[in-house]
Amino acid sequence: MAEPAVQSRKVPTYCYQCVNGPDMLTVEVVDGVATRVEPNFAGKGCHPADGKVCVKPYGLIQKLYNPNRILKPMKRTNPKKGRDEDPGWVEISWEEALDTVGAKMRAVREAGLMDENGNPKFAFSTGGAGTPICYMGAFPALFAAWGPVDLSLGAGGTVKCYHAEHMYGEQWHRAFTVLPDTPLCNYIVAFGNNIDASGGVTSVRRQADARVRGLKRVQIEPHLSVTGASASEWVPIKPKTDSAFLFAMIHVLLHEHAENELDVPFLKQRTAAPYLVAPNGYYLRDPATRKPLLWDLESSAAVPFDTPGCDPALSGTFSASGVEDGADGQSWEHAAVSVKPAHQLLLERSAEQTPEWAAGITDVPAATIRRVADTYLKEAQVGATTVVSGREMPLRPVAVMLGKSVNNGWGSYECVWARTVLQTLVGALEVPGGLLGSTTLVVGPEYDRMASCVPGPDGFMDHPFHPTDKEHWKAQPEVRHGHSTLIPATGNGLYAQPLGSTSIAWMRLQGRGAETWPKVKPPEIWFVYRCNPLISFSETSRMGETIAQFPFQVSFVYTMDETSHFADILLPDCTDLEGTQLLRLGGTHYFEQMWDTEGWILRQPIVAPQGDARDFSWIATELAGRAGMLEEFNNMVNFGVCGIPLKTEAYDFALDPAQPHSTEAIWDAVCKAASFDVTGGKSAEGLDWYKEHGFRLRPFPHLNWYLHPRMEDQGLRYELPYQERLMRIGHQLEHRLHESNIHWWDQQVAEYEPFPVWKDLNKLWGDAYERNFKVKIDDYPFWLLTARSMQYAWGGNVGIQLMREVAENVAGHSGIMLNAGTAQRLGIAEGDTIRVTSPVGTTEGRAFPRQGCRPDVIVMVGQFGHWKTPYAKEFKMPSLNDLVPMTMDLVDGTGSSVDAVRVSIERVGGAA
């Protein structure tokens, strides 16, 4: 008898386990079993990496079938919470679980959404820079319908992100994240930028293509990273000294080369370099229009910045009249006062910051710094042009890239500023070959960067700063970290709360920091999804004690984990390969996701959900009904929270607000609207079409990779180099805070400098340690750093055996990397157990000596230290996070801090 024919099919779906998503893949299903992941070959030619996905989604099948999954809702029966408490989990029905959660929500709604401190009673924490939203189906509509939700209890964001780039990048060139125009770029100066591990498939592919073409990259970082491996040169810089290297590069360009070697037309027309700065540090302005003035070399007079036909001076000192507008309406009238263009001030402030000065700080020879700067200038090809889609533009194939740890905490303002100034000096900002921004999350909309580029004050782009004037400043924090009160640049967009300072939220819950504000109460309801702050935040052991105080925690889980150990209710949601959701695809988005197409892509159930796992859209609908907000929830779905409005003047696929709708019905409507969008109204195929075809695309204008045409057409300038607006905001903020008797933010407010002042960060760290912990910094002689694990990062996949197996092929996934010479000096052999100690924590791990590591640095890759997550708890891998102190002294002006920590090490045991 013949065997029955094997039933095999390939199902298209997406992966969005990191910010570089969504990417395309297919899953082969054989006789109803998901067997293997493959690229989606239909993506060839329309996806920048031809439909391929990175290593992480290959773990999704094991995630689906992981025997450690929680497949039924559970409730806690032991009211005591703690690491050593047994929660007493009991399986319950979905009915009971939803009734319990829904009743809590209803009770809060009836009693009022805000607590007596003015903070939301409902909080939600997630990880992955918000990417879990791409697995939550229609759930965001529940949040939107609810009202104020506290998102400030972060799981790692503002410590483990590119915070300074997010904040300043968006203001300066709509760059929540930046990228080189890799296909055209010839020279990249990368300070710890680990793009091969963090940039997803598109970055890896573009960078690899560029290297073969001849792109050179200098990798400046304390340990030779995965990305450093493919660099042309490794420069092992001393940790936290990157700004000195960058400042010295500015010096070389300004003081060791003639002005006409720079992109003078760009500086004059596209930046604030010629704006005249008056005696009090603010721009000199035209008294009538309040427009900043510049010195016109043609007429030898100060004229408004937008005067047609003028030739502004970049250097020199001039005598001019006008007004100067300071903070809080303060104004000075000047007659024939001495003023200088911002560029002149830049010349003066960079005069002493020579490569020789930087060499003593960075431990990098002056000749190396000078050579890198000279090469950067030469490779910029100032004066060259190219044509993109019929438009002639400058071609400036150079970029300076910054890594995560350079972008966070003290010093990051200096670095991001200096990097962006370096780009402007050679005209390599937002032009072909140069440094570009990608997505816009502060200003928005996320999927239309060009639309975010609109005129604001003084010839610059607009930016949604929170008000700092006396009348409008938000003295009362809106959420627990008080972003709208303390950090004006966060704006009010969807990403405002995950910015700011999540450290402050946690410190306040622990009764420290922000001492003039009342100790905050925990949220009455805390939802947690795809994050594990007990592993991924700082001082993680202490955080457990904090979370144990939360009265009602709902964790959406696929296996048990450290944070869920403290939950009251566990809800098993569909994993990546079980749920349904439609997302926008392509365009320009995060890091190097630069497409020539845009459209929509579907995630769909590859197989039926395992056990009692349920789709998030179903969970949201059920909870909305029980919380008494079904109509509001449906209205939000119709409004467009699922990615696109379901009703416009052109079409109507809206759902009946009064009725609950199935997951399929919700996404069928979204699919129809998306089809209408992507085809320009020619079709309206629904869910079935996307289930079969996976994605739908249309061309995306290549010109929209660059902000330059839009800036040029609107006559706008990049708000560089001088930060007059930030200085004014800083002064106003300082006034408001002091009026409120708040002095604990003084260090941070002091950072609103028009030119960031170089700080000795090694001294700053030493002082902070000695002040906060009463220790001697010399007793902690090593910098402990971390590095991105491509295999694990953001996937929530630490419990997946396949990821563990393949990650161990990459150095650092089995132990702590340290310099081989250091190891020898300390009598440490490979595999020995070493103890690593900071003032707030201790951890142990196996030593892994490497040559590619500075002698004063040790490295712990990824984030481990699990004690509850099945499988991962057997790793015996150390955690850097528990050693990272949370203290206001290490929070910078934008609220961020960094997971670099000074430590001591000692050998405590031989190899196992």
Partner 1 sequence: MTRYVMVADLRRCVGCQTCTAACKHTNATPPGVQWRKVLDVEYGDYPEVHRVFMPVGCMHCADPPCMHVCPSTATGQRADGIVTIDYDLCIGCAYCAVACPYQARYKVERRTDAYGEGRATAQEDAGFDERRLGVAQKCTFCADRIDAGTARGLTPGVDPEASPACVNACIANALQFGDLEDPQSNVSRLLAENRHFRMHEQLGTEPGFYYLWGN
Residue 799 near residue 66 (C-beta atoms within 8 A): yes
Q: Could you tell me the smallest distance in angstroms from the CB atom of residue 832 to partner 1?
A: 19
Q: 581 forms bridges with which residues in the sheet? A: 603
Output 219 or 894, the one with its CB closest to partner 1. Answer: 219
Contact mark string toward partner 1, 739..778, x via CB under 8 A: ----------------------------------------
Contact mark string toward partner 1, 801..840, x via CB under 8 A: xx--xxx-xxx-------xxx-------------------
Residue 480 near residue 497 (C-beta atoms within 8 A): no
Contact mark string toward partner 1, 181..210, x via CB under 8 A: ---------------xx---x--xx--xx-
- What's the distance, Cα to Cα, between the start and end of the chain in Å? 55
Output 166 or 813, the one with its CB closest to partner 1. Answer: 813
Find the binder of partner 1 among 136, 141, 179, 224 (CB under 8 A): 224
Q: 55 forms bridges with which residues in the sheet? A: none
Distance CA 531, CA 521 (A): 21
Q: Could you tell me the smallest distance in angstroms from the CB atom of residue 806 to partner 1?
A: 4
Residues 34-63 that bind partner 1 (CB under 8 A): 34-39, 41, 49, 52-55, 58-59, 61-62
Contacts of 89 (CB under 8 A, 6+ apart): 74, 75, 76, 77, 570
Q: Could you tell me the smallest distance in angstroms from the CB atom of residue 178 to partner 1?
A: 20
Residue 847 near residue 817 (C-beta atoms within 8 A): no
Distance CA 305, CA 269 (A): 9
Q: Could you tell me the smallest distance in angstroms from the CB atom of residue 909 to partner 1?
A: 25
Could you tell me whether strands 782-787 and 695-699 are parallel, antiparallel, or unpaired per DSSP bridges? unpaired
Output 208 or 297, the one with its CB closest to partner 1. Answer: 208
Piece of the chain touching partner 1 by CB under 8 A; list 29-37, 469-477, 718-726, 892-900: 29-37
Q: Could you tell me the smallest distance in angstroms from the CB atom of residue 244 to partner 1?
A: 18
Rule CB under 8 A: say whether 226 interacts with partner 1: yes
Rule CB under 8 A: say whether 611 interacts with partner 1: no
Residue 330 near residue 320 (C-beta atoms within 8 A): no
Rule CB under 8 A: say whether 18 interacts with partner 1: no
- Rounded to 5°, angle at Cα 611 from 610 and 616: 70
Site residue total, partner 1 (CB under 8 A):
60
DSSP 609: P
Three-state secondary-structure class, residue 705? helix
**In terms of Cα–Cα distance, which of 196, 901, 101 is closest to 553?**
101
Q: Could you tell me the smallest distance in angstroms from the CB atom of residue 687 to partner 1?
A: 26
Piece of the chain touching partner 1 by CB under 8 A; list 170-178, 249-257, 265-273, 850-858: 850-858
DSSP 42: G
Rule CB under 8 A: say whether 113 interacts with partner 1: no
Distance CA 43, CA 23 (A): 9
Tallying the residues shown for the chain, one arrives at 912
Find the binder of partner 1 among 103, 107, 229, 757 (CB under 8 A): 229
**In terms of Cα–Cα distance, which of 512, 503, 508 is closest to 521?**
508
Q: How far is CA 556 from the centre of its chain?
A: 23
Contacts of 276 (CB under 8 A, 6+ apart): 283, 284, 292, 293, 294, 295, 302, 318, 320, 322, 339, 340, 341, 342
Q: Could you tell me the smallest distance in angstroms from the CB atom of residue 69 to partner 1?
A: 10
Q: Could you tell me the smallest distance in angstroms from the CB atom of residue 258 to partner 1?
A: 34
Taking the alpha carbons of 637, 640, 646, 647 in that order, is the dihedral positive or negative? positive
Q: Could you tell me the smallest distance in angstroms from the CB atom of residue 59 to partner 1?
A: 7
Find the binder of partner 1 among 9, 33, 279, 519 (CB under 8 A): 33
Rule CB under 8 A: say whether 855 interacts with partner 1: yes
Find the binder of partner 1 among 496, 853, 860, 883 (CB under 8 A): 853
Provide the token pair at 52.
């391929």
Find the binder of partner 1 among 127, 852, 865, 878 (CB under 8 A): 852
Rule CB under 8 A: say whether 791 interacts with partner 1: yes
Rule CB under 8 A: say whether 234 interacts with partner 1: yes
Output 57 or 500, the one with its CB closest to partner 1. Answer: 57
Output 627 or 861, the one with its CB closest to partner 1. Answer: 861
Q: Could you tell me the smallest distance in angstroms from the CB atom of residue 62 to partner 1?
A: 6
| SS3 annotation, 783-802 | EEEEECCCCCCCCCCCCCHH
**In terms of Cα–Cα distance, which of 29, 21, 26, 32 is closest to 58?**
26
Output 201 or 898, the one with its CB closest to partner 1. Answer: 201
Is there a cis peptide before residue 22, judged by omega within 30 degrees of 0? yes
Sheet holding 525-529, edge to edge: 90-91, 74-75, 569-572, 553-557, 525-529, 122-126
Q: Could you tell me the smallest distance in angstroms from the CB atom of residue 35 to partner 1?
A: 5
Find the binder of partner 1 among 307, 871, 904, 907 (CB under 8 A): 871
Output 196 or 882, the one with its CB closest to partner 1. Answer: 196
Q: Could you tell me the smallest distance in angstroms from the CB atom of residue 95 to partner 1?
A: 28
- Rounded to 5°, angle at Cα 628 from 145 and 630: 55
Q: Could you tell me the smallest distance in angstroms from the CB atom of residue 48 to partner 1?
A: 11
Q: Could you tell me the smallest distance in angstroms from the CB atom of residue 52 to partner 1?
A: 5
Q: Could you tell me the smallest distance in angstroms from the CB atom of residue 226 to partner 1?
A: 6
Distance CA 460, CA 592 (A): 25
Distance CA 904, CA 24 (A): 45
Residues 324-343 that bind partner 1 (CB under 8 A): none
DSSP per position, 846-910? EEEEESSB-TTEEEEES----SSSTTGGGS----SGGGS---GGG--TTS---S-EEEEEEEEE-
Cα Rg, the chain, nearest whole Å: 27
Residue 171 near residue 491 (C-beta atoms within 8 A): no
Output 25 or 479, the one with its CB closest to partner 1. Answer: 25
Q: State the burial class of residue 611 (Cβ atoms within 10 Å of its Cβ: 0-12, 13-18, 19+).
A: exposed
Rule CB under 8 A: say whether 378 interacts with partner 1: no
Rule CB under 8 A: say whether 397 interacts with partner 1: no
Rule CB under 8 A: say whether 366 interacts with partner 1: no
Output 612 or 632, the one with its CB closest to partner 1. Answer: 612
Provide the token pair at 16.
């969005």
Output 487 or 847, the one with its CB closest to partner 1. Answer: 847
Q: Could you tell me the smallest distance in angstroms from the CB atom of residue 49 to partner 1?
A: 6
Report the half-sphere exposure of 394 (CA within 13 A, side-chain side).
Answer: 26
Q: Could you tell me the smallest distance in angstroms from the CB atom of residue 623 to partner 1?
A: 31
Piece of the chain touching partner 1 by CB under 8 A; list 25-33, 512-520, 577-585, 776-784: 25-33
Output 855 or 909, the one with its CB closest to partner 1. Answer: 855
Piece of the chain touching partner 1 by CB under 8 A; list 297-305, 398-406, 579-587, 798-806: 798-806
Contact mark string toward partner 1, 62..81, x via CB under 8 A: x--xxxx-------------
Residue 186 near residue 378 (C-beta atoms within 8 A): no
Contacts with partner 1, residue ranges (CB under 8 A): 30-31, 33-39, 41, 49, 52-55, 58-59, 61-62, 65-68, 196-197, 201, 204-205, 208-209, 211-212, 224, 226-230, 234, 236, 790-791, 801-802, 805-807, 809-811, 819-821, 850-855, 871
